[in-house]
């Protein structure tokens, strides 16, 4: 695997315009403290956190205010010194109402971090380490917000030979991972060391798309004096290079079997920003109370990469970035390929918010739909080698079972097919619907079977 003469990549995929120049050269700024914070208890995948504080109680910046609500769940910490205003329902992503802890900032506080020292990881057993990570509130910062410790706990019957740190950031517009790699390279390398103390992979690759030459150069420089346990792999700029399966294929030339995880081929993939945050927890005791968010798009006056305390209202962040250029904007969370539309700015930044996209209407495609002309562009785009053309026709007719036979469950909703389709057929959009229906049917069947037993 040494000496990449040919730049590593996967087969198929698409080349959307990158739009990274808005922010890719901008150093990370700090978002100033604001008056109010809203911390939803369920901002990660899994069980919601359980509050440890009461209304009216004073809290410190970095203090744990909610505990993990199960193994697949993480702790939550206060981003500021202040007072608990309320624990009540508040609007969060996609308009959902969830239980949240509301904190009013203490305006006279110095906001110094007060955190318990997690202790030296070198003296920890695996279980202690996993518990410690869980109590730091760490989740995957790439967007999925899956509890990091769950991923780090390799099941007994599996092993991890290779670790891949995912610095692709293949979604257009987003630059937060890029800036973290460029500005916190030591944290990334140290985090890899800490994690590998427990995971014991033979080799660690840092996969970075080659449109981030500065990050690649900085990391290579920092790694000069290291032995070859860790190596930077420049990757072709192609979407969705950062999808776990594609990344494993690009770097190791292996396929992850259908329905399985990279770990089933002895690979652990983790986002670079999460690994940097892991290091900060063990080195300084700072739990996950802030993260880097890219605020970008043509509708924002001053695009920026910002270190934002979790719980800050998006409106505050937008105002800090000079406000909006236009009344007619569309707001997305995450990148334009897989991100979610957001209705209002009055929701908090959460742990999984990697980017806040404010697009003018002309950025957004709303075009006439034509019939499928079987041009095959979707087939040549799909990184999973599915046939979106056939799936699309079956979706129009509601043939869910046929779609299942055509592997729709293997679709990971990257959107490449819809991106290329010249007839603007809502392909991935209808696959999401089909997958939902198929999942529901399966659950119903399982329930019926149980009832019959």
Partner 1 sequence: MSKQRKAIISTSPFLHDKATTPTIMMEVVYTLIPLVALSYYFFGLGALLVVVASILGCMVTEYVFSSGEKWKKLKDGSALITGILLGLCLPPGFPLWMAFLGGIVSIGMGKLIWGGLGQNVFNPALVGRAFLQAAFPAAITTWNAPTFGSGWFSLNGTNAALPFLQAENVDAMTSATPLSKMKFDHDFGSATDQALGIISGSLGETAGVLILLLGIYMIWRKIIHWRIPVAILSTVILFSGLFWLINPTIYPDPIFMLFTGGLMLGTMYMATDLVTSPITPKGQWIYGVGIAILVVTIRLWGGLPEGVMYAILIMNAVTPLVNKFTKIKPYGYK
Applying CB under 6 A, the residues found at the interface with ligand SF4 are 372-378, 381-384, 386, 388-389, 392, 411-417, 420-423, 425, 427-428, 431
Nearer residue to partner 1 within complex by CB, 63 or 294: 294
Nearer residue to ligand SF4 within complex by CB, 72 or 261: 261
431 binds, among partner 1, ligand SF4, none (CB under 5 to 8 A by kind): ligand SF4
CA dist 449 and 433 (Å) reads: 24
388 binds, among ligand SF4, partner 1, none (CB under 5 to 8 A by kind): ligand SF4
Three-class SS string for 189-232? HHHHHHHHHHHCCCEEEEEEECCCHHHHHHHHHHCCCCCCCEEE
Task: State the minimum distance, in angstroms, from the CB of residue 326 to partner 1.
Answer: 16
Distances (CA, A) of 32 to 58, 65, 224: 20, 21, 36
8 Å CB contact between 138 and 277: yes
Task: State the minimum distance, in angstroms, from the CB of residue 428 to ligand SF4.
Answer: 4
Task: State the minimum distance, in angstroms, from the CB of residue 434 to ligand SF4.
Answer: 11
3-state secondary structure (DSSP) of residue 362: helix
Task: State the minimum distance, in angstroms, from the CB of residue 338 to partner 1.
Answer: 5
Sequential DSSP letters for 224-288:
TTS-TTEEEEEE---BTTTSHHHHHHHHH--PPPTT--GGGGTEEEEEHHHHHHHHHHHHH---S
The DSSP bridge pattern shows strands 304-309 and 50-51 to be unpaired
Distances (CA, A) of 63 to 43, 54, 81, 355, 381: 17, 13, 9, 26, 47
Give the residue from 150, 141, 130 showing the smallest Cα distance to 43.
Answer: 141
367 binds, among partner 1, ligand SF4, none (CB under 5 to 8 A by kind): partner 1
CA dist 283 and 166 (Å) reads: 22
Residues at the interface with partner 1 (CB under 8 A): 14, 16-17, 172, 245, 249, 255-260, 330, 332, 336-341, 359, 363-377, 379, 383-387, 389-390, 407, 410, 415, 418-424, 426, 428-430, 432
92 binds, among ligand SF4, partner 1, none (CB under 5 to 8 A by kind): none
Nearer residue to partner 1 within complex by CB, 180 or 411: 411
Nearer residue to ligand SF4 within complex by CB, 97 or 373: 373
Nearer residue to ligand SF4 within complex by CB, 76 or 378: 378
385 binds, among partner 1, ligand SF4, none (CB under 5 to 8 A by kind): partner 1
Distances (CA, A) of 442 to 69, 189, 292, 429, 439: 27, 43, 39, 20, 5
Task: State the minimum distance, in angstroms, from the CB of residue 317 to ligand SF4.
Answer: 30
363 binds, among partner 1, ligand SF4, none (CB under 5 to 8 A by kind): partner 1
CA dist 160 and 179 (Å) reads: 28
275 binds, among ligand SF4, partner 1, none (CB under 5 to 8 A by kind): none
Nearer residue to ligand SF4 within complex by CB, 130 or 434: 434
127 binds, among partner 1, ligand SF4, none (CB under 5 to 8 A by kind): none
Nearer residue to ligand SF4 within complex by CB, 219 or 421: 421
369 binds, among partner 1, ligand SF4, none (CB under 5 to 8 A by kind): partner 1
Nearer residue to partner 1 within complex by CB, 58 or 406: 406
Buried b (16+ CB within 10 A) or exposed e, 98-137: ebbbbbebbeeeebeeebeebeebeebeeeebbebbbbbb
CA dist 432 and 9 (Å) reads: 26
Task: State the minimum distance, in angstroms, from the CB of residue 364 to ligand SF4.
Answer: 18
């Amino acid at each position: 695997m040494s000496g990449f003469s040919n730049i590593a990549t996967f087969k198929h995929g698409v080349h959307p315009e990158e739009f990274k120049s808005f922010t890719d050269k901008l150093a990370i700024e700090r978002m100033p403290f604001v008056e109010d914070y809203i911390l939803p208890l369920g901002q990660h995948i899994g069980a919601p956190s359980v509050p440890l504080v009461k209304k009216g109680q004073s809290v410190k910046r970095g203090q744990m205010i909610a505990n993990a609500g199960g193994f697949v769940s993480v702790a939550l910490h206060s981003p500021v010194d202040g007072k608990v205003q309320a624990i009540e329902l508040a609007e969060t992503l996609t308009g959902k109402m969830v239980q949240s802890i509301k904190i009013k900032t203490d305006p006279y506080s110095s906001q110094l971090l007060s955190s318990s020292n997690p202790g030296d990881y070198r003296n920890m057993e695996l279980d202690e380490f996993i518990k410690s990570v869980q109590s730091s509130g760490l989740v995957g910062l790439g967007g999925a917000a899956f509890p990091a410790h769950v991923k780090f706990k390799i099941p007994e019957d599996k092993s991890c030979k290779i670790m891949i740190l995912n610095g692709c950031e293949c979604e257009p517009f987003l630059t937060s991972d890029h800036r973290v790699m460029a500005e916190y390279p030591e944290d990334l390398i140290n985090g890899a060391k800490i994690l590998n103390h427990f995971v014991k992979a033979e080799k660690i690759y840092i996969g970075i798309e080659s449109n981030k030459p500065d990050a690649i150069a900085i990391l290579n420089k920092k790694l000069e004096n290291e032995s070859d346990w860790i190596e930077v792999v420049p990757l072709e700029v192609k979407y969705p290079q950062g999808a776990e399966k594609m990344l494993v294929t690009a770097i190791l030339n292996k396929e992850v079997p259908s329905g399985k995880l990279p770990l089933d081929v002895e690979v652990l993939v983790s986002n670079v920003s999460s690994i940097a945050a892991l290091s900060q927890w063990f080195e300084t005791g700072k739990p996950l109370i802030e993260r880097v968010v890219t605020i970008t798009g043509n509708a924002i006056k001053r695009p920026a990469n910002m270190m934002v305390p979790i719980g800050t209202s998006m409106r505050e962040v937008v105002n800090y970035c000079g406000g909006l250029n236009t009344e007619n904007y569309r707001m997305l969370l995450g990148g334009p390929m897989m991100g979610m539309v957001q209705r209002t700015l009055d929701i908090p930044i959460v742990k999984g918010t990697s980017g806040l996209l404010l697009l003018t209407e002309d950025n957004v495609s709303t075009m006439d739909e034509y019939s499928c002309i079987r041009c095959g562009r979707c087939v040549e785009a799909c990184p999973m080698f599915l046939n979106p053309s056939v799936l699309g026709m079956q979706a129009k007719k509601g043939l869910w079972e046929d779609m299942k036979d055509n592997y729709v469950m293997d679709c990971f909703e990257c959107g490449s097919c819809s991106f290329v389709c010249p007839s603007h057929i809502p392909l991935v959009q209808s696959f999401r619907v089909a997958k939902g229906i198929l999942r529901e049917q399966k659950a119903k069947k399982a329930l019926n079977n149980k009832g019959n037993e």
